[in-house]
Amino acid sequence: MQQVLRFGFLLLLSISSIAQAQSLPRPKLVVGIVIDQMRWDYLYRYYDRYASNGGFKRMLNQGFTCENTLIPYAPTVTGCGHASIYTGSVPAINGITGNIWWDRNLMRAVYCTEDKTVKTVGSTTALGLQSPRNLLVTTICDELRLATNFKSKVIGISLKDRGGILPAGHSANAAYWFDNTVGSWISSTYYMNELPAWVKEFNAKKMVDNYYTQGWQLLYPANTYVQSTPDNKMYEGTPFGDQLKVFPYNLKSFIGKNYVPILYTPMGNSLTSAFAKTAITKEQLGADAITDILALSYSSPDYIGHSFGPNSVEAEDNYLRLDKELGDLLDFLDSNVGKDQYTVFLSADHGVTQVPEYLLENKLPAGRVFMSKVTEQLNKNLAEKYKVAGLVVSDDNYQLHFNHQRIDSAKIDTDDLAKWICDYLSVEPGIARAFPIEDLNEVPLPAKIREMLNNGYYPSRNGDVQVILQSHYMDAWNMTGTTHGLWNSYDAHIPLLWYGWGIKHGKTNRETYMSDIAPTLAALLHIQMPSGTVGHVITEVMK
């Protein structure tokens, strides 16, 4: 009997050893890093100033860089970018056609992650009424959960709700975002009914008030910021108030009162990193052999870039500090997950154009198009012509959306209306093209632009007339700052860095796309691609 038991025990050990030897090699943790509003050229614009042990140089010099990574659709905005990176898809398939879009079926504007069926968790505000339900396909995070029978953990973290929710996908264990009215990280009942104890403890620290006490000082002497325009240009925004226009920024007056200004400082990145590190530790991400994913998005570069512009001292200081932040995060992963036990990719949701007035100062063509005012005047003219008010209901995402119910009731010919509008817009300064969207594949356009617009088109969430602005013109709300959203390289050329487990050292200059990230991860992890994938595996990055 003892011999039988001993034989059985040895057999089990043998089977276990064989199973271990044949187990599928995967990293313990995948960390996806999306820098909100990072142009590709920032990798090299500040290269000489990045720390040797920072994040960007480490990933460039030890990992793999895809130097010519492009966004394959328009509009190039935050919601679309985060969704497309993680779905390997485009708005025409995943349905995220903007941060906000006009929904033809609902006859109202829809925010990309809005969900009125859920409740806020972590505060009493309405900022938690969010979920991924408007996303029509799976993400790579969903596919990993499916591949491991939901044993993998997936957590999304971003100051912006859409930056944490859309990447994490439908089946995530949690997504967290920042409630800037109360200064706390929150979630929704889509994920949980109560915040975990560690999140409550983190919120109780009131880290934002500590950051406000420190204020925003320059990391290095002011005369070393030679890649930037002088501080306090007239075309820079003033997110801290009209009395705070130059460094150093004293933020003490906001303590305990106003949690919006933190978004416009590099301390927003520090807050995000601190929360992410706590999540890794408390949720034990990467603690076992089952691969987990942390979908991490840094939002402050976008707030800073919009307000001050990409050539500001503020933008340069932000990226120098973010480089150190990323280096610290990689050090943390080395210590807590294990060196060569995790895989990181870093990319961006979009780029940004320079501030028009900065370009004009340097004799470069640029300008502002105030589309909301254009649309307002357009509606007045249409009301006089057709005797019907409010025929154009939205100009979101560089498109005009018609009120088809009013058009039908007034028996207005839609084709005639669209032609009249296009003729009207064609003489507006800064507008290069305006045409009915249904004619997209017939109007004379370079194939690249046509493909990007097609990839951004989902019928019930898109408009009737497409507007294309001239190079370096932007849809503006005021006379300061800048924005993004167009097909041009300054908005569509983004970084893509790979580092860690399974990644070769090297680079490629061939054209790759944002939509290639998810299928490459799927190949690396030996799992199914997301359900709407149109991208391709970047085979060069893998060992």
Rounded-to-integer distance, Cα 127 and Cα 135, Å: 19
Q: How far apart are the first and last CA of the chain?
A: 50
The pLDDT of residue 33 is above 50: yes
Beta bridge partners of 284: none
Rounded-to-integer distance, Cα 64 and Cα 147, Å: 26
Rounded-to-integer distance, Cα 453 and Cα 445, Å: 11
User: Coil, helix or strand for 185?
Assistant: strand
Rounded-to-integer distance, Cα 109 and Cα 98, Å: 11
Question: Prior bond to 75 cis, omega within 30?
Answer: yes
pLDDT-based confidence at residue 298 (cuts at 50, 70, 90)? very high
The pLDDT of residue 303 is above 50: yes
Average pLDDT, the chain: 95
Can you give the pLDDT at residue 6?
A: 53
What are the pLDDT digits (tens) for 270-291? 999 999 999 999 999 999 999 9
How far from 190 is each of 113, 127, 132, 144, 328, CA to CA, in Å? 12, 13, 9, 19, 32
Can you give the pLDDT at residue 14?
A: 45
Rounded-to-integer distance, Cα 273 and Cα 533, Å: 30
What are the pLDDT digits (tens) for 424-449? 999 999 999 999 999 999 999 999 99
What are the pLDDT digits (tens) for 251-273? 999 999 999 999 999 999 999 99
Can you give the pLDDT at residue 400?
A: 98
Mean pLDDT, residues 472-478 taken together: 96
Mean pLDDT, residues 469-477 taken together: 97
Contact call for residues 542 and 503 (beta carbons, < 8 A): yes
pLDDT-based confidence at residue 514 (cuts at 50, 70, 90)? very high
- High-pLDDT (> 70) share of the chain, %: 96
Can you give the pLDDT at residue 440?
A: 97
What are the pLDDT digits (tens) for 97-136? 999 999 999 999 999 999 999 999 999 999 999 999 999 9
pLDDT-based confidence at residue 333 (cuts at 50, 70, 90)? very high
The pLDDT of residue 223 is above 90: yes
Record the tokens describing residue 57, joined without a space.
Answer: 């140089």
Q: Which residue has the higher pLDDT, 9 or 175?
A: 175
The pLDDT of residue 17 is above 80: no
The angle, 0 to 180 degrees and rounded to 10, between the axes of the packed helices 313-333 and 300-308 is: 170
Q: Which active-site residues does the annotation give?
A: 78
Can you give the pLDDT at residue 2?
A: 52
Q: How many CB atoms lie within 10 A of CB 99?
A: 19
Can you give the pLDDT at residue 23?
A: 80
How far from 218 is each of 47, 222, 259, CA to CA, in Å? 18, 7, 21
pLDDT-based confidence at residue 504 (cuts at 50, 70, 90)? very high
Q: Which residues contact 208 (CB under 8 A, 6 or more apart)?
A: 183, 259, 262, 267, 271
The pLDDT of residue 143 is above 90: yes
Sign of CA dihedral 414, 415, 418, 423: negative
The pLDDT of residue 9 is above 90: no
- In one-letter notation, the amino acid at residue 179 is D
Contact call for residues 534 and 93 (beta carbons, < 8 A): yes
Record the tokens describing residue 282, joined without a space.
Answer: 């408390």
- Tokens 């307002």 — which residue? 376
